[in-house]
């Protein structure tokens, strides 16, 4: 019994656009899924993304709240790095003062 991890397929922007265009022109979802071997959830996501922003990139389809969370996480990481640097500097200066 093999325990291979199934890799999720990746699709090009052009492919996604072609599939969404076919769907928009009346091609049934079930037919697209069967013919192209894509998941129904992927097709739904692509259609939704394209209709909302015209882009298939996750970063282009984030809600304002998701964007804010992403920015806050970035700021928090930066502050943590700066804090670590200051702690190291304080230790170095403390050693020099005790010498």
Mean pLDDT of the chain: 88
Residues whose CB is less than 8 angstroms from the CB of residue 24 and which lie 6 or more positions away in sequence, other chains included: 47
Taking residues 12-41, what's their average pLDDT?
A: 95
Q: Which residue has the tokens 């502050």?
A: 79
Has residue 42 got a pLDDT over 60?
A: yes
Taking residues 43-68, what's their average pLDDT?
A: 85
d(CA 53, CA 63): 11
Minimum mean pLDDT among 2-6, 17-21, 74-78: which range? 2-6
- Could you tell me the pTM of the whole model? 0.56
pLDDT in tens, 79-97: 999 999 999 999 888 888 7
Taking residues 41-69, what's their average pLDDT?
A: 86
């Amino acid at each position: 019994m093999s325990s291979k991890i199934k890799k999720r397929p990746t699709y090009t922007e052009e492919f996604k656009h072609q599939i969404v265009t076919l769907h928009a022109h009346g091609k049934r979802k079930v037919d697209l899924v069967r013919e192209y071997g894509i998941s129904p959830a992927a097709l739904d996501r692509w259609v939704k993304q394209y209709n909302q922003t015209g882009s298939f990139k996750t970063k282009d389809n984030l809600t304002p709240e998701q964007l804010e969370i992403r920015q806050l996480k970035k700021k928090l990481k930066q502050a943590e790095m700066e804090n670590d640097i200051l702690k190291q500097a304080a230790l170095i200066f403390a050693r020099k003062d005790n010498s």
